[in-house]
Amino acid sequence: MDLPPEKIFKSYDIRGIYPDQLNEQFAIPITKAIYKLISDQLNTTKPLTIAVGRDMRLSSPAIFEAVSKTLVELGTEVIDLGIVSTPTFYFAVYKFGYDGGIQITASHNPKEYNGLKIVRKSKSGLIKIGKNTGMEDIKKMSREGVDIVARGKGSITKKEGVAEEEVQNALKIAGYPNIKKFKIVADAANALGALYIDALFKAIPGDLIKMNFELDGTFPAHPADPLIPETLKDLQKKVLEEKADFGLAPDGDGDRLIFIDEKGQIIPASLITALVAKEILSEKKGETILFDIRYILTPKKIVEEYQGKYEITKVGHAFITEKMHQTGGIFAGESSAHYFFRETGNAESQLPIILIVLKVMSRENKLISEIVGSLKRSHESGEINFRVKNGLEIIEALKEKYSDAEISELDGIAVSYKDWRFSIRTSNTEPLLRLNVEHIGKEDLEGKTQEIIEEIKKHAVFEGPSTNSG
């Protein structure tokens, strides 16, 4: 039998094109490796309980069948969550104390992809299996094979109604807020965010206008990646047409969420992080808030103003969850619109974010643009990507050019001056350099961004055109 290719084992998950790189045959040795890893990490010889969820991709049923059948043969009690968003999957594994979980999804990737996200339980929440927590072991065992003795007779049990329980948990996290009736437009991109948004608005007041809520693994409307500005155009237009209070755009598996204000403008994720941080710290002073290295000036200032502590993390959901375990942080916000709560096992949860935004709008009786505008402490370039062959060489050149600054090497490099900074890092999955610049002044931002771009071009060996992801 052919071996699963090495390149599908990523820093955060397993992901590849179906059926060439990932298929039901490859899923069998991968599942055995996952089972062995979870058993070893939990140091148990007892039968495991493993939850399995999946997205709406055309290849997901076949991969689910292979994963669940393999687990049953190993003596596992498989909890079939059905078609669920990734946040709902995380909630189920954490809430019900399952030993581990496998979510079959390729997130925002195009329709020909599929993948696996893996978690296990721990005393302090969920452990996401990634680069630092076992992915290399899974890759090795998947390709070399592993001997496992079955632990009795396995079974499959269907678990329904998890999204509704997730809504109740989110209401608790948000403090059971009194919410006024707002008009919200949501574009689910025919993907999994439709499920939790629908469940939420059955439990709270609001006029929900749905766009592309029919689950369809071919993504007929547009790619399920809200970080591509073009995918947001119809939503922005609809928000203006409907005179809505804001718009929502989740990604393919629902673990990222972009907000559009009432003017049809994209709200940077750092401002949503600042809003949530302010709300949490207003009630729980001294708690730790986390945010990633790309944009820190606004959330850092807000956390300081409200007597909180902060930690800066590497980019990537597995790294952020890992850092939350280490710090005991209550909340984390990532620049790519992943949001994490201690109360959901340190995993992503978008429902409390929506509820906290609605709570603040209801209490302050202000437009969302006014609320986030009052929190803004810096201006951001948006991520600028360069397809180059010599990323590390360019980073070294920039280190030398800006050697008089404070430089962090947590993730690539982050170069900080008194009133501006930039971070530049290589992608974990592509031959890309990713640049993010922020400045206290909007006009100065443009000049500094152009200065760094010109410096990159001096040293770059391009593999293709550079792109701006907005």
Angle, vertex CA 194, rays to CA 188 and CA 197, nearest 5 = 110
Q: Which helix (H) or strand (E) holds 362?
A: helix 351-364
**Encoding tokens for residue 292?**
């990633």
Distance between first and last Cα of the chain: 43
Q: Quote the strand ranges of 84-194, DSSP E.
A: 100-104, 113-122, 125-128, 155-158, 183-187
Cα angle vertex 315, ends 371, 30, to 5°? 125
Order of strands across the sheet that contains 246-250: 207-211, 183-187, 246-250, 257-260, 266-267
User: 102-130 in b/e burial notation, b at 16+ Cβ within 10 A?
Assistant: bbbbbbbbebbbbbbbbbbbeeebbbbbb
Residue whose pair of structure tokens reads 């809504």 in the numeric block: 167
Residues 300, 366: contact at Cβ < 8 Å?
A: no
Burial classification of residue 318, based on how many CB atoms lie within 10 Å of its CB (0-12 exposed, 13-18 middle, 19 or more buried): buried
What tokens were used for 410?
A: 């947590």
Options 107, 142, 270, 335, the catalytic residue: 107
| DSSP reduced 3-state for 109 | coil
Q: Using CA atoms, how far apart are residues 87 and 40, in angstroms rounded to an integer?
A: 25
Query: CA-CA distance, 19 to 130, in Å (whole number)?
Result: 23
d(CA 142, CA 29): 5
CA distances from 19 to 14, 24, 112, 274, 453 (A): 14, 8, 8, 42, 39
Tokens 């375990």, residue located: 325
Q: Residue 462 carries which DSSP code?
A: B
Q: Is-catalytic flag, 107?
A: yes
Residue 332 bridge partners (DSSP)? 290, 340
Q: How far apart are CA 20 and CA 12, in angstroms?
A: 20
**CA 388 from centroid of its chain's CA atoms:** 25
Chain-centroid distance, C-alpha 7: 21
Tell me the catalytic residues.
Answer: 107
